[in-house]
Chain A
């Protein structure tokens, strides 16, 4: 199990756990509403330069930008290598 920041680009993974700092319920709820909750599929599409945010696809049709600080708190398990076309 690795954090979302460590996931290789364009690799699909399944969210295992969202361990927010100090049990931040607001963050857990917001992430869940955007589809980031245990058992859902995520894929990091790109990372912004200079330590900027990650561009993540959640499920099949939602895309979000989230900061590395938040992404570290999301634990995932990679399932398959999907090659970039």
Chain B
């Protein structure tokens, strides 16, 4: 790696600094280039009317601070996909001093089309040929000077992933910017220009290719072909997919969850050693608000950090290696019937570890409808936090060794709820984008890419969700601790539990358990501890208390409700942040509550009926 731009410049979007926009097709390494240039300074920019996250940063080029915006990957500037509309809107409304088109050097036959489209718009343009290392390995030779001459554009060869060619690229970018005489203007007439421009003649691309690219007549079988013969095998492909999925899941389980526990130990220690002595002078109610309300919110957010870092490191491996796209191919036969695709399946399975990163992971899906349908389904995945609750309740209510069977039935129910939801809503969130998915060659993800992904995602998660979660925690605290001095059913929450009895009694859920469900809205881990507080006993005896007062049917009905209603506050906050829509978040909340209520009702009433007959 040759050179780095100065990254100390703070991000700002004053109108007088020059702006560079990155454009290119998906799978060109555009984001790799951006991340390498931006390092840790990437931020989500705010653009009027644009709901897709656009990362931006500022860099110093030859002493000049310039802004760099990473636009979403597009196939065709005239296309109808959301990403293509976003790019058009951006170019219509925002002045761009220099557009950089990033191309995959091994696929110039397809990518030059986009360059010609952009060039015809009259945008100041620079071309970066990425993945030149891969092209070399395949024996593809590109005459860069001739290409630049024939395109009448500056062209640089680059390896975004390994860092070759960056210095020359920076020089060329700085040179292009310095040459500009007039200030940049947006292209309000972009759509009209594209309409008159019409189809780029295939012959024009062909002429360029013949003059500049030499390709071997026969490609030697690549590693990708050999790997695909095994991994996409008609018989072994799917079992191997499940083995891989299991391994991923195992890592989340064995590394992520204990790490979450470690953070809990740390925040508990902080509370006992630092916070409690600090607030000991305050009135009891203020202490409780600070410790059980605000600090709990902080601890909740903190406990997700290791899980999200790990999850996205694994995602980076899955995605950058090219396997995630292949999982879509493998699972498509089943998922297409539900209006989903194989990537939804992977996210759903990872949701069994934790719903939060699984929801964030849906960003890989570029069709908004497909993404929303997947986000609606994920919260029904029985996550590890809910598992703890079930294990506790099962141990208390089903002492006769049928616990495993009960737990298994809950997993089945989790799948059934997901399938049902997808089937119900696939017409509402109808994915009308064609399923034509590129299967890029297998690539080794670099350690740098993996770390950057884990860190970047956790930063975004923290920045976006902490307010929502703190407010939620304080609200639940108020419900469960006020009026001052009240405990159990005397609190506002307990009163709501009593007041909700007409709704909850038919489900076999008493006011105490209703109050536990209100706690459970915060986080499912809290349910067990809250049961102890509600019954005003220690956690050990809470189990006896439940065993004494809750029947088999009531316990199972409670589990069903717990499984299907709103997963937790953090999931809800993430859902809201990812969908950027209150209506959608509300839909998810209300639908899951309704489904939980109905399922518990059907089960409990049926159980009573059978009991009555027996």
Contact = CB atoms under 8 A, between A and B. Distances in A.
Interface string B24-43: 01000000000000000000
Given A50-B334, A55-B439, 19 more contacts: A33-B79, A34-B75, A37-B202, A48-B237, A48-B332, A49-B238, A52-B329, A53-B332, A53-B435, A55-B228, A59-B110, A61-B219, A63-B441, A64-B436, A64-B439, A65-B332, A66-B434, A67-B336, A67-B435
B109 A35 contact: yes
A62 B439 CA distance: 8
Given A30-B76, A48-B330, A52-B332, A64 B438 contact: yes
Nearest to A54: B329
20 contacts: A27-B434, A30-B75, A31-B434, A32-B76, A32-B113, A33-B76, A34-B438, A36-B436, A46-B228, A49-B333, A52-B332, A53-B329, A55-B232, A55-B329, A59-B109, A61-B219, A64-B436, A65-B329, A65-B436, A70-B435
Contacts of B438: 34, 62-64
A26 B219 contact: no
Contacts of B325: 65
Interface residues of B, number: 42
B348 interface: no
Contacts of A48: 232, 234, 237, 329-330, 332-333
Interface string A44-85: 011111111101000111111111001000000000000001
Nearest to B437: A65
B330 to A, nearest CB: 7
A35 B215 contact: no
B107 interface: yes
Interface residues of A, number: 34
Contact of B110 (A24, A27, A33): A33
B328 interface: yes
Contact of B434 (A59, A70, A85): A70
A26 B435 CA distance: 12
B400 interface: no
A70 B433 CA distance: 11
A30 to B, nearest CB: 6
B138 A61 contact: yes
Contacts of B110: 33-35, 59, 62
Contacts of A45: 228
B332 A29 contact: no
A39 interface: yes
Given A30-B75, A34-B75, A60-B219, A51 B436 contact: no
Contacts of B207: none
A61 B89 CA distance: 31
Most chain B beta-carbon contacts within 10 A, residue among A47, A49, A50, A65:
A65
A26 B434 contact: yes
B319 to A, nearest CB: 15
A50 B336 CA distance: 11
A70 B228 CA distance: 22
A25 to B, nearest CB: 8
Contacts of B113: 32-33
Nearest to B108: A61
A54 B169 CA distance: 38
A70 B436 contact: yes
B78 interface: yes
A74 B76 CA distance: 19
Contacts of A32: 76, 113
* Nearest 3 Cβ contacts at the A-B interface: A52-B333, A33-B75, A50-B333
Contact of B436 (A34, A52, A60): A34
B106 interface: yes
Interface in B282-330: 325-326, 328-330
A46 B235 CA distance: 12
A63 B439 contact: yes
B221 interface: yes
Contacts of B549: none
A59 to B, nearest CB: 5
Nearest to B25: A33
Contacts of B114: 33
Contacts of A60: 109, 215, 219
Contacts of B138: 61
A48 B109 CA distance: 27
Most chain B beta-carbon contacts within 10 A, residue among A29, A31, A59:
A29
B78 A29 contact: yes
B80 interface: yes
B234 A46 contact: yes
Nearest to A31: B436
Contacts of A53: 329, 332-333, 435
Interface in B111-129: 113-114
A52 B336 CA distance: 9
B240 to A, nearest CB: 13
B103 to A, nearest CB: 12
A24 B434 CA distance: 10
Given A52-B329, A55-B329, A64 B437 contact: yes
Contacts of A65: 325-326, 328-329, 332, 435-437, 439
Nearest to B326: A65
Given A48-B234, A62-B110, A65-B329, A26 B80 contact: yes
Contacts of A52: 329-330, 332-333, 336
A35 B107 CA distance: 9
Given A61-B107, A65-B328, A51 B228 contact: no
Interface string B59-91: 000000000000000011011110000000000
Contacts of A30: 75-76, 79, 81, 434, 436
Nearest to A45: B228
Contacts of B435: 53, 65-67, 70
Contacts of A49: 234, 238, 333
B107 to A, nearest CB: 5
B332 A39 contact: no
A33 B433 CA distance: 14
Nearest to B238: A49
B108 to A, nearest CB: 9
Interface string A1-44: 00000000000000000000000101101111111110100000
B330 A61 contact: no
A85 B25 CA distance: 32
